[in-house]
Amino acid sequence: MKLLDTHLYEQGAPDDLRHLINYIARAGKYISHAIQIGDDLGLAGSNNASGEDQLALDVLSDKLIEDNLMICRLVSTAISEEKDEPIHCKCKGKDCTAKYSVAYDPLDGSSLVDANLSIGSIFSIVAGDGFVGKTGRDQVAALYIVYGPRTTLTYTMGKGTHEFTLNDVGEFELTDEAIKLKPSAKHFAPGNLRAITQNENYKAIVHRYMDEQYTLRYSGGMAPDINHMLVKREGIFMYPAYSPKYPEGKLRLLFECNPFSFIVEQAGGASHTGQMPVMDVEITEPHQRTPIFVGSVEEVEKVVGGLK
């Protein structure tokens, strides 16, 4: 048995980064518990930074993560997908020990929870204060937690992608090390199918996958959909732009696309906007959106070729 903390230590994580990831994992355990209890799966009566309805669970998860990021005294700036404004370390000043910034989506796909589908929390970590002007290549670590029949945590800090499962005594235990994706796939996850009404190239790509009898695996939650790919060792997840509602696509560069791109690249996969690798896009503002095509290398290459 190998626990998350030991694994981070053996991978050479600096002590402060190891502590930070442990604090994030702790927030994940509380969120997992709150989902299982399921006392309040309804609306909170508020909106998030993107104007979407917030669930009580969104608000609770956001608070649990924020509290853990602030008490660890290692985070200079935290940016939540649920909030307009970043949160700053309270102890800023000469003796401040906070040298990381964390962007997070506290409960991605939360509208699926009342239907008893899997949902997740996603985290992107960079060194220094803030994200604007940086790219996904500046990430020192990324991780996501999936709350499903099991609770799993998958992380990378640039030395492969590794999965841990929450055990009965509340520890994340190593269940899959150095995950490697095959170059080609049998499964496809075509998000934003509305876009085929405006984009002939995307329509042709989706039809090719159907003609070639790929198997559809799309849950509507990016965390479980990317997790499916990593567990099955192959797949392609697509969420293009071109819908009138989301001209840049729906998914956020900072909170979703960068962390998943890092995790998938570290598993030997690829991630592209259709114009450039996702992780090369400069971050200009926290709630920036981007199209994404991510997964097995040959599939991403074929799709990007088909978009031109």
Binding positions for ligand F6P, rule: CB under 6 A = 108-109, 191-192, 220-222, 250-251
CA dihedral 45, 62, 135, 251 (to 10 degrees): -40
**Judged by CB, which is closer to ligand F6P: 112, or 174?**
112
**Judged by CB, which is closer to ligand F6P: 18, or 108?**
108
Containing 9, the helix (H) or strand (E) segment is helix 4-10
**Judged by CB, which is closer to ligand F6P: 18, or 252?**
252
Length, in residues, of the chain? 308
Q: Smallest distance from the beta carbon of 37 to ligand F6P, in angstroms?
A: 22
What does the alpha-carbon distance between residue 25 and residue 143 come to, in Å, rounded to a whole number? 9
**Judged by CB, which is closer to ligand F6P: 50, or 215?**
50
**Judged by CB, which is closer to ligand F6P: 131, or 255?**
255
CA dihedral 169, 173, 175, 180 (to 10 degrees): 150
Q: Smallest distance from the beta carbon of 129 to ligand F6P, in angstroms?
A: 26
Closest residue to ligand F6P, judged by C-beta, is 222
Q: Smallest distance from the beta carbon of 53 to ligand F6P, in angstroms?
A: 13
What does the alpha-carbon distance between residue 297 and residue 124 come to, in Å, rounded to a whole number? 22
Q: Smallest distance from the beta carbon of 133 to ligand F6P, in angstroms?
A: 24
Containing 61, the helix (H) or strand (E) segment is helix 56-71
161-194 burial code (b ≥16 CB/10 A, e <16) = bbbbebeeeeebbebeeebebbeebebbbbbbee
Q: Smallest distance from the beta carbon of 119 to ligand F6P, in angstroms?
A: 8
CB 106 within 8 A of CB 121: yes
